[in-house]
Amino acid sequence: MAILVTGSTGYLGSYLVAGLLREYRDCLNLLVRASSQQEAHERLWHSLQLHFDFPEFFDRINSRVRIFRGDLTSQRFGLSEDDYHALVDTTDSIIHCAASLNRKSERQCLNVNLRGSLEVIQLARRVQDRKGLRRYSHVSTVAVAGHRRNEVIAEDSSIDWGRSDYDPYARTKKFCEHMVAQLLPDVPRTIFRPAIVMGDSRRAETSQFDMVQAFDLLARLPVLPLRPHDKIDIVPANYVGKAIVTIHQKERPAHGIYHLSSGVSSETYQELTDSLSEAGGWRRPVYAPSFGRPFSATVNWLANRGGAVGHGASLMKVFWPYLDWNTVFDNSRVAAELGESPAKFSSYAYPLLKFSRENKFRYPAKPWPSSASAAASKTVAGSARA
C-alpha cells in the first residue's frame, strides 16, 4: 500500500516526498503532470534535487515510487481506467498538497484548487468506500482567515464566512476545507494551514522565490512604509514539511487542524531589519507607516509596467495585504505535537537573501544526467511488465 502525494513537483511538495522517503518506509504514489515517464522523472529530479543527490534520488524513485501521469483538473486525473483503478487499489492514505498559488488569477485558482481538490476528494471517497482510507491530509493556508488586523488567531476561529477574502487563492482554499469536511465526514482527516513559507532554516538554498523577491524589495528600501513593531508570521519550509509528514503518519493526531506558523513568537519588522543590518552591514531603514497608502498606490501603478520593476511591483501588490495585517496564527498545537518550535526567520534570512541575489532568484538546477536515461528506460519497462 502507498501514500498518494499530490504536488510532488512543487516546492513544499518536495519536502513532503523527501521526508516520507527518508524517515518512513511507505511506498508513494505520485501524481505528476507529464507527457512521458521520462518527463515525469525529470520533473521530479528538478524538484527533489534540493534534497537528494542523483544516485540517492534515482534509487528511491525506482524502489519506492509509482508515478501516475495525470492532470489534477481532469476527470479521474485523465488516467486510463486501469491506472485509475490501480491508484484506488494501492492508495492507503492521501496528502493533498497541490495548489495554484496564483493569487491574481481567479480562473486558475478555481480550476486547480477547487476542481483539482474535488477530484482528489472523490478518489478519497472511493478508497474509503472500497477498503477504508487511513488518513486524508489537506494542505490549506492561514489566508482562509480572510481580512484581519492586529490579531492572534487560533485554529478553530480562523474561518468566519462573514469576512471578505483577500484574493482568489484564499477564497478557494477556504472552500476546499469546506468540501473536505462535507464530503469526507467519516474519514480521519487533518487540515494543515501554513503561514508565509519562506526558505529553509538549515541551509541557504531554496527553489521558491516569489515571496523572497518581495521581501528582498523591502530589504533594499531606505524607508519602509510599515509599522516597526508589527509582527510577520514566517515559517521555514523544513518545519512545515516535517509537521505535515509527522502528523500524517501518526495513528491519532491530537487535533484535526494545525497552524504551521511561528505564532506569537513571530518577529517584528524591527527585529528582522536589525538582524539583516547586522549580518549584511546594511544601513538600518527608517520606518514611516504614514507612507503605507501612497506606497500601495505606487506599487499598483508600477505593477502594470514591464521589466524587472514591474515584476517586483506585481509580487509586492499580491503580498502587500499579508505584510500589512499584523496578524499571527497560534502554533501551540503543532509545537506540542512535534515537541519543537520553528526557527526564527532572522536566524536564516540573510543567507537566504544572499543565495537568492547571487543566483538572480533562480535555482541553479542540475539537468537530468544523460547517462541515466537508458537506465531509467529499462527500469520503467521492467516496472510496466511487472
Q: What is the pLDDT of residue 373?
A: 63
Alpha carbons 140 and 146: distance in angstroms, whole number? 13
Give me the pLDDT at residue 312, please: 77
- 317 in a domain, yes or no? no
Which is nearest to 285 in space by CA: 273, 295, 293?
Answer: 273
Per-residue confidence (pLDDT) for residue 189, from 0 to 100:
98
Domain presence at residue 59: yes
Residues in the chain: 386
Q: Give me 67's grid cell.
A: 508515478
What CATH number did the domain enclosing 55 receive? 3.40.50.720
pTM over 0.85: yes
Cell numbers at 54, concatenated: 542523483
Q: Residue 115 — φ and ψ, nearest 5°?
A: -65, -40
Question: Would residue 8 count as lying in a domain?
Answer: yes
Residue 55 lies in a domain: yes
Domain annotation covers residue 183: yes
Joined grid coordinates for residue 168? 482568489
**Full DSSP string of 44-104:** HHHHHTTT--HHHHHHHHHHHEEEEE--TTSGGGG--HHHHHHHHHHEEEEEE------TT
What pLDDT was estimated at residue 105?
A: 76
Q: Domain tally for the chain?
A: 1
Rg (CA), the chain: 21
Asked if residues 260 and 194 have their Cβ atoms less than 8 Å apart, the reply is yes
Residue 362 belongs to some domain of the structure: no
Per the CB < 8 A criterion, the answer to whether 38 and 75 are in contact is no
Grid coordinates standing for 263? 505564532
Domain of residue 184, residue span: 2-198+233-264+327-343+367-385
Q: Is residue 307 part of a domain?
A: no
C-beta neighbour count of 176 within 10 angstroms? 25
The separation between the first and the last C-alpha atoms of the chain, rounded to the nearest angstrom, is 16
User: Measured between alpha carbons, how far is residue 149 from residues 162, 210, 289, 346 in Å?
Assistant: 15, 24, 15, 23
C-beta atoms surrounding 9 within 10 Å: 22
Quick one: which of 152, 156, 158, 292 has its CA closest to 233? 152
Q: What is the pLDDT of residue 374?
A: 53
Residues ≥6 apart with Cβ < 8 Å to 340: none
**In this structure, are strands 257-260 and 234-235 parallel, antiparallel, or unpaired?**
unpaired
Q: Is residue 74 part of a domain?
A: yes
Reading the chain (386 residues) residue by residue, the pLDDT tens digits are 999 999 999 999 999 999 999 999 999 999 999 999 999 999 999 999 999 999 999 999 999 999 999 999 999 999 999 999 999 999 999 999 999 877 777 888 899 999 999 999 999 999 999 999 999 999 999 999 999 999 999 999 999 999 999 999 999 999 999 999 999 999 999 999 999 999 999 999 999 998 999 889 888 899 999 999 999 999 999 999 999 999 999 999 999 999 999 999 999 999 999 999 999 999 999 999 999 889 989 888 888 887 777 777 887 888 888 898 999 999 999 999 999 999 999 999 999 999 999 999 999 999 999 877 655 555 444 444 33
Strand (E) or helix (H) holding 318:
helix 307-323
For strand 65-69 and strand 152-153, is the pairing parallel, antiparallel, or unpaired? Answer: unpaired
Distance CA 386, CA 382 (A): 6
